[in-house]
Structure 1
Amino acid sequence: MTSLKSRLILAASLWIALGTIGAGLVLSAIFKHHVTTQFYDELHVHLDELQRLAEFHEDGTLHLQRNLSDPRYDVPLSGFYWEVQKDGKVLARSESLEGPALHMPPDAPNDIGVHTHLIEGPTGPLIAMEKGVWKDPGATPERFIIGTDERHLDAVVSSFNKTLTMSLAAFGLSLVGAATLLILYALKPMRQLRTALFDVRSGHAKQLSGQFPTEVVPLVDDLNRLLTSTGDLIQRARTQAGNIAHGLKTPLAIVTDEAYRLGDEGQDRASSTILSQCRKMQSHIDYQIARARAVAMRSTPGVVADPRKAALEVASALGRLYKGESVSIEVDVPEGHRLACDPADLNEMLANLVDNACKHARSTVRIACIGGDATGMTVDDDGPGLPPEARDVVFNIGERWDSRAAGSGLGLAIVRDLARLYGGDVRLGESDLGGLRVELILPSEG
């Protein structure tokens, strides 16, 4: 998809190109008409001069009092010729003219005055002008012919067209450059707006800020109001989710207490059933609340998390919890990376994965970045791992591959669901430590 800037520059360039080409064609046509008229005027002047200088003798011969004022008529095959004919015979001709007589089309009886023709000359097409002079109305007129090679006219026009083409090309390129600069300057507020939006998305700012033109200010104000209202809605949604959790917590605690009381009274079967269902209800409540929070935070601009900070916090908390079991938690996450995720959700996902790894590890759990970059995180352990057929089962809510291990079977399901809500995913594989590797894939900042 092309950008607005590219489309504007392309449209301006096409319009300038069409205008320049049109102007070139018009100017070339005007110049050619002007030069052609000038050529004919010059021929007419030379024709009049030829007629004035001509002297006819009694024997029918013709003699010029002097040569024409233009010396090009004296240079052999120069392309400037004159000739005087009568009854198809040549009475006189210019020193520049060689070869047979000029062949002029016949004139009609009413063709008097000056006529122009394009004939074949000794050096190419010839623009010829002729005038018939009748000394005796009943006699054949003398035909005064003067001409210039068409190539001379074409050379002048061609030279002008080359100069015109280069001039208009340079002028058109300068216009395209000026239009490009103007468009870039006009779109500068859009780049500023994009930078301001990036600052909001990356968490460096809560609202759009900067100096914008009058035309863009209403848009900026509307976006800021939208950001404020969205933040308020999300906050209310999170508060409501918390209220629901607290509202269900007390009744669920009462039911759980009753189940323990039944167990104390010897009704172990009923107590076990009720406690089992209570744990499932608590798991589903935790799952839905976490999901609701992630859905809200996913749409909030500026939500970013520091993976190193999250890894250190989780390692510190769970390291104390599993200290007695001789499990060490290593953190190999470099500084400077950011993930597009709410910090609380990243902590919760990472805590679930590390807790699960600590339960199965023999001695080591390692937290790192995927491939050393910031496209997600990995949690490795040196435990027994999982067979390939178990890697889909453990993502089902309430399912555990090892029924003897403690837990609700909800951890991996929550992690995968939260990751997918942020546009990521969770993958299981074999660790180089010998156990299970969990890849938590999350989009990077921006």
Structure 2
Amino acid sequence: MRTLWRSFRARLLLGSVIWIFAGVAVSGFVLSEIFREHVTAQFDTELKGHADELAVLVHVPPDGAPYLQRWLSDPRFQPPGSGYYWQIRRKGGELARSSSLGGAALPMVGPPPGPGVSRQSFISGPTGEVRLLERTVTPTGTGESLRIAIGADQRLLDDVLSQFNRTLALSLSMIALGLVGAAFLQISFGLRPLGKIRSALAAVRSGRAARLPDDSPSEVRPLVQDLNALIDANAEMIRRARAQAGNLAHALKTPLAILADEGARLNAQGQAEAAHTILTQCERMRRQIDYQMARARAAASRSTPGAVADAEAVLTPILSAMRRLHGPRGIEYRLRAYSPASAAVEAQDLSEMLANLLDNAGKWAATTVEVAFDRPRPDILRVTIDDDGPGLVPEAWDVVFDIGERLDEHAPGSGLGLAIVRDLATLYGGRAWLEKAPSGGLRAILEVPAAPGSTMKRRY
């Protein structure tokens, strides 16, 4: 439920549905009551008209029972059980009644109403409750008062009301569903600019666009402008940070080169101890500068939206360089790749990670280095590099990722390659680790975020 309330569309749609159904329910109740009052009044008016006609048609002979000079104009008073009845009673007990009563009599309780007064009541009739209208009339020329009653089954009125209510409920339900559908379309259409902004942000993050489009509705245009300003400011800040880091590295490497030359000069003069100290410290400083520069560049790249690198495009020149570097030793590099495969990583940083891993594998391989790509999850790109060298003991798999760690001091290298790989991968939200390769050598695994929307197809 909490997730539901985080959606503008769900909130607006739920509010619209509540108000639509509440409004339709109230409207249905009001219309039903208005119709009930109208039909009831019309029903009672019709009974009064029949009572007037009955009072005119009744005739009372001097020594006989009252009767009608002709049938009522409404034929519904004739068929038995039709639900429409009339009855006339005189003081002596003689009565006349409609053929629809089927020989039964309507129970007329209590005293008769006064002259000129119409009294309505409900009584039990042959087929249910009867809505009854009573009057006291005195036919012309007789001087005798008669108690006339005319009525109709309440079920006839209830049937009309029930049929109307069913039709009304069906009609209002269809109107409510139509209004809900219209509200959904209206809300979807109204929120479409937000969806376009979301897609535009995804395009910026994936590197397919540099900024958000400016042709947005006036209500969200300030938001788009602020986001574009933030993107521009962030890009400018990162550009300046990279420039400053590059200037600092250049400023430090120049004195280091001078110190290294001085150490070489001292060594040439026979001052080996002093020269060794200077050269060792220069090498340590150079390693730290390279390491920290790689971290700073990766941190800046991670903060930049839209960093995307085509893994195969990055890997191809690296493999070419590795074949030239290690090929003379008989090392063969084999590629088992998926194409296309894009990583949400700056191309330069992905190149540095792959180059360090492939170079390390080439140094220790006996004959072959194999590279493979796969996607364990849609948001992860995994690179696996196997060599057929001597491998490492499991206890050393984590140690070699520490800064400056070299298990073989006679092998070329600075001891920073694997440390840079792990730190760069971590800064991008990925990871790097070592395992035993199926060939018995060492397997290096690098996982980095996959670019949004990128797909992979196996190339055999």
TM-score where L is the length of structure 1: 0.90
1:188 Cα deviation (Å)? 2.7
1:282 Cα deviation (Å)? 2.2
Q: Give the corresponding residue for 1:393.
A: 399
User: Is 1:241 matched up with 2:245?
Assistant: yes
Counting only pairs closer than 5 Å after superposition, residues 263-412 of structure 1 correspond to structure 2 as: 263-264=267-268, 268=272, 271-371=275-375, 375-412=381-418
1:270 Cα deviation (Å)? 5.3
1:358 Cα deviation (Å)? 1.0
How far apart, in 2, do the equivalents of 1:434 and 1:377 lie? 18
Letter paired with 2:395: E
* CA shift in 2, pair 1:60/1:200, >3 Å: same
User: Is 1:174 matched up with 2:178?
Assistant: yes
How far apart, in 2, do the equivalents of 1:348 and 1:66 lie? 114
Moved more, 32-41 or 283-292: 283-292
Deviations 1:395-421 (A, max 9, x none): 222234445533332222221221121
Instruction: Decide whether the 8 Å contact of 2:112 with 2:135 is kept in 1.
Output: no
Q: Give the corresponding residue for 1:425.
A: 431
Q: Give the corresponding residue for 2:68.
A: 64
Moved more, 416-425 or 70-79: 416-425
Letter paired with 1:409: G
1:246 Cα deviation (Å)? 1.4
Counting only pairs closer than 5 Å after superposition, residues 221-236 of structure 1 correspond to structure 2 as: 221-236=225-240
Moved more, 113-122 or 430-439: 430-439
Q: Give the corresponding residue for 1:24.
A: 28
Deviations 1:28-50 (A, max 9, x none): 11111111111111111111111
Deviations 1:45-83 (A, max 9, x none): 111111221112223621111111111110111111122
How far apart, in 1, do the equivalents of 2:257 and 2:286 lie? 10
How far apart, in 2, do the equivalents of 1:115 and 1:109 lie? 7
* CA shift in 2, pair 1:109/1:49, >3 Å: closer
How far apart, in 1, do the equivalents of 2:106 and 2:28 lie? 37
Q: Give the corresponding residue for 1:37.
A: 41
* CA shift in 2, pair 1:177/1:371, >3 Å: closer
Instruction: Decide whether the 8 Å contact of 2:309 with 2:345 is kept in 1.
Output: yes
1:141 Cα deviation (Å)? 5.7
Q: Give the corresponding residue for 2:134.
A: 130
* CA shift in 2, pair 1:427/1:23, >3 Å: farther
Q: Secondary structure at the match of 2:120?
A: strand
* CA shift in 2, pair 1:287/1:86, >3 Å: farther
Q: Give the corresponding residue for 2:190.
A: 186
Moved more, 359-368 or 208-217: 208-217
How far apart, in 2, do the equivalents of 1:248 and 1:88 lie? 134
Q: Secondary structure at the match of 1:9?
A: helix
Identity score, percent: 49
* CA shift in 2, pair 1:416/1:77, >3 Å: same
Q: Secondary structure at the match of 1:301?
A: coil
User: Is 1:436 matched up with 2:451?
Assistant: no
How far apart, in 2, do the equivalents of 1:154 and 1:380 lie? 87
Letter paired with 2:393: P
1:98 Cα deviation (Å)? 3.6
1:210 Cα deviation (Å)? 5.9
Letter paired with 1:393: V
1:312 Cα deviation (Å)? 0.6
Deviations 1:255-288 (A, max 9, x none): 4444445555666555545544433332222222
How far apart, in 1, do the equivalents of 2:144 and 2:350 lie? 113
How far apart, in 1, do the equivalents of 2:113 and 2:104 lie? 26
How far apart, in 2, do the equivalents of 1:129 and 1:404 lie? 122
Q: Secondary structure at the match of 2:131?
A: strand
How far apart, in 2, do the equivalents of 1:60 and 1:396 lie? 128
Q: Secondary structure at the match of 2:309?
A: coil
How far apart, in 2, do the equivalents of 1:302 and 1:397 lie? 30
Instruction: Decide whether the 8 Å contact of 2:214 with 2:224 is kept in 1.
Output: no
Q: Give the corresponding residue for 1:94.
A: 98
How far apart, in 2, do the equivalents of 1:418 and 1:95 lie? 104
Q: Secondary structure at the match of 2:174?
A: helix
* CA shift in 2, pair 1:109/1:204, >3 Å: closer
